[in-house]
Structure 1
């Protein structure tokens, strides 16, 4: 059944990836009408999230943000498909690093780097980063249940020389690389909701007390790595810019969870600047306390 789903969906994705960008975004406009106005995909989740973190915004303003978000969501979904066939040259034109010299400076410290992302603007096209770094690019991801789509994702990423690794593989792979003299930059998406356990760390995110992922920080401390945040902004439709913000050259010098809080504050600033580019369909605040600020 999984293979059947794959062979049905794959030709559609490939066809989408071959469209010129002008036509791609026309398709995106149609998809927006379908998802937002007809299907109402996760509309209640998005509305509840927006009302929760922006309690002082009027319903009209919430509705405006919601519509802009769905338009961006459809763009991003089709941009992900476009990655299957996009050229390295085209991707570099559409996803630019504004301060590549900061990567060079961090690499000059001769320490591997943890690069933390938020689900903001475009994280998929960050695979272009390998063009700006000398270190080996690694990206932590959650394996897909369908092995055929999982392989497809790995193949797409490897086309741009980024290696996908699961959370169970991280420490062994980084340690092996270090023993071979290979320095790496490992990307983490760290702003979503973890499984609720007694040991989970709770912090304020958008004013809501909620459990947070701390794996990136713990790894940086355990292996004595530098930590940075990739701030991605959407410049206009189909074009993004990213800035490397160094959080810690020596992660061990920071108190537990301090780097996690610094990262969350960076994501918060972006959300307040342009909330429509955050990933509102995820139930980020499904575990929360009544305590807020």
Structure 2
């Protein structure tokens, strides 16, 4: 009962904030930056460690500069997401521009299905919502539900408002089976950290051995769905562009783990070009290969 009460109070507060104009929310974001970085130090140690390990050739001064830019963006990102329940379709379309979306449209026009891959880079939530307004076919977004059922319901309501269908990760295969007779696009944010027991495949990513999930590749190979990458870039505060890039057109012709490696190489190039806009506060490297081997 206490959890439910506090959840509803929090949701009421979030709904109130969502009604405020973005320029006002950005004022709160600036204040939050100082609170998170200088006072609370939210995951500051994790961010610093991730950056140092990912960019061993950069000086500490360069690392700290990226760190500051990340926390400023992260603070703005929080309030951009808070705005999403009340953002209009017109405003959404204005803030996210899609390039090369005709690649997706061509597949749907031919009655074919595909897989879209992206990472936790830039404002992926805003991008997925805007995609729902532009996609001519059914778009399934695979995600991990929140543990709090009240906040999960709140997020689910606005996430699906533009027509996207959100599917919990564990129900992916069921959704693929039930939609096999119609053209669909399944969207994955593939840079999540596997749970300890699922950390079976490792690649070199950002100068570190990294455990990765290979489920997207397995689905692509089994269904022979082409794989595209949604590369979302920050243009200026609150405005983004998304490039649609082809990763693989015939997955069945690829070698084992090739698609996984291609997707992570693509993400790595994006991060190296503009590193501040990836989710550095995530505990991405909490699993180590040697620890996994010892426990085998």
Which residue pairs with 1:159 in the alignment? 161
- 1:44 paired with 2:45, answer yes
Q: Deviations over 1:69-122 (max 9, x none)?
A: 001101111111100100111011101101121112233453221111111111
Q: Could you say what secondary structure the match of 2:71 adopts?
A: helix
Q: How far apart are the structure 2 equivalents of 1:67 and 1:273?
A: 17
Q: Could you say what secondary structure the match of 2:186 adopts?
A: strand
Q: How far apart are the structure 2 equivalents of 1:168 and 1:192?
A: 14
Give the alignment partner of residue 133 of structure 2, picking from 127, 131, 134.
Answer: 131
Which residue pairs with 1:19 in the alignment? 20
Q: How far apart are the structure 1 equivalents of 2:48 and 2:166?
A: 33
Q: Could you say what secondary structure the match of 1:22 adopts?
A: helix
Which residue pairs with 2:85 in the alignment? 84
Q: Deviations over 1:207-243 (max 9, x none)?
A: 2111111111111112222211110101110011101
Which residue pairs with 2:145 in the alignment? 143
TM-score between the two structures when normalised by the length of structure 1: 0.94
Q: Deviations over 1:141-167 (max 9, x none)?
A: 111111111111111122111111012
Tell me the CA shift for residue 281 of structure 1. Answer: 0.4
Q: How far apart are the structure 1 equivalents of 2:3 and 2:227?
A: 38
Tell me the CA shift for residue 33 of structure 1. Answer: 0.8
Q: CA RMSD in A?
A: 1.5
Q: Sort the Cα spacing of 1:46 and 1:199 in 2 relative to 1 into closer, same or farther, 3 A.
A: closer
Q: How far apart are the structure 1 equivalents of 2:88 and 2:118?
A: 23
Tell me the CA shift for residue 288 of structure 1. Answer: 3.2
- 1:259 paired with 2:259, answer yes
The count of residues paired between Structure 1 and Structure 2 equals 288
Which residue pairs with 1:175 in the alignment? 177
TM-score between the two structures when normalised by the length of structure 2: 0.93
Q: Deviations over 1:195-215 (max 9, x none)?
A: 234771111111211111111
Structure 2 portions without partners, runs of 5+: 291-296
1:93-104 maps to which residues of 2 (within 5 A)? 93-104=94-105
Tell me the CA shift for residue 289 of structure 1. Answer: 4.7
Q: Could you say what secondary structure the match of 2:150 adopts?
A: helix
Q: Could you say what secondary structure the match of 2:147 adopts?
A: coil
1:225-240 maps to which residues of 2 (within 5 A)? 225-240=225-240
Bigger Cα displacement from structure 2, 196-205 vs 18-27: 196-205
